[in-house]
Amino acid sequence: MKIIVVGLGYVGLPLAVQLARHFDCIGLDSNSGRIAELRDGHDRTGEVDAATLAASALALTSDAQECRGADLYIVTVPTPIDVDNRPDLSPVRSATRTVAALLDPATTPVIVYESTVYPGVTEDICGPMIEQLSGLKRGTDFFLGYSPERINPGDREHTVDKIMKVLAGENDEVTELLATVYGRVTSGGVFRARSIRAAEAAKVIENAQRDINIAFMNEVTKIFSALDISVWDVLDAARTKWNFLPFEPGLVGGHCIGVDPYYLSHRAQELGINPQVVLAGRAINDGMAQWMADEIHAALGREGGDILILGLTFKENVPDLRNSKVIDLVRALRAHGHRVAVHDPHADPVEARHEYDLDLVALPSEAAYDAVIGAVRHDAIKALAAPQIAAMLRPDGLVADLKRMWSPPSDDAASTVRRWSI
């Protein structure tokens, strides 16, 4: 069986490497620079190490013509939102156009989508596109399937070779084919969803559920702050109950949790349904950076301060800058009149400049800032000792710990620093 994985990002590359252990697999990415890096053994996402890449039988190409006539095409491209928080299906449409031009009806190929979409996209949008562009007939010349990605960037426990894979084909034969293929890849087993739409829906609510739970944490954080109670102290107590869910407040970004609910709400609104809970959760989480900026500004007590934010990526210990909400905090503090610098040990400076017009800085060796904000729980940031943080601050400086990374200081010098936390 010849398999093509279309898109070699956080999702596609680890999957393609695992598939290449068992099948003739080619990884296709339109970014020739990405292919060159991977051939040199460098994965900028940090998901696959150089030794694994070097040992892999995976073929790599940016030339789609090398991928004609395969038996199985797996589409793993991103599904972002636009500036109005509407689903942007252009990467999926582009990948679909690419695949449609490569199909050979003699192989009766199967096209599987892993990209997060709302129910109906695979069958109502992608299928007709392939028919129109290729002149082939779905259900006779080619078949569709869906298997939602579940990659969690930086997670070394729930990797693609260990998690349960949900899958669905447009008929039983396709479903069983996918079960065989994905069953070879993962030790976690496979789950055959009742339909492609059910599989699409399962994916979109997995992250919407997390978003709503975090929104509750963020809302109670504001309530407790007004009562001069730390939410972390409340959580310490609440977590002693056996069935309390361990969600935390914070900035909700990334390519999944901050995006997927908008796919669900978009489809709901098309159907004339007002998704009140989904959109309320999004509104709370999207507004959290502004609330934090307002509180930190008030705690600092003046305008025109120099502020250092530690962390820019959307989560700890990964280089992924997609949809990071730390940039919202930067912009909100600048709107308050402050000068804001950002340090991140994992982020790519070139990408930070490209995505956010932001030049990352090194950790200061002298007292250069009026406030230091711990925004991302990177191990390197969490490991900073209280005297190190205090040394970055001017007299009467403020430390704002958004993630409860740092224990209260015990030495006299660091304990004189003012502190703010949620």
Work out the end-to-end distance of the chain between its first and last CA atoms, rounded to an integer number of angstroms: 54
**Residue 167 near residue 193 (C-beta atoms within 8 A):** yes
**Residue 72 near residue 3 (C-beta atoms within 8 A):** yes
**Cβ neighbourhood burial of 321 (10 Å; 0-12, 13-18, 19+):** buried
The one catalytic residue in 25, 67, 126, 256 is: 256
Does 256 participate in catalysis according to the annotation?
yes
Q: Which residues are catalytic?
A: 256
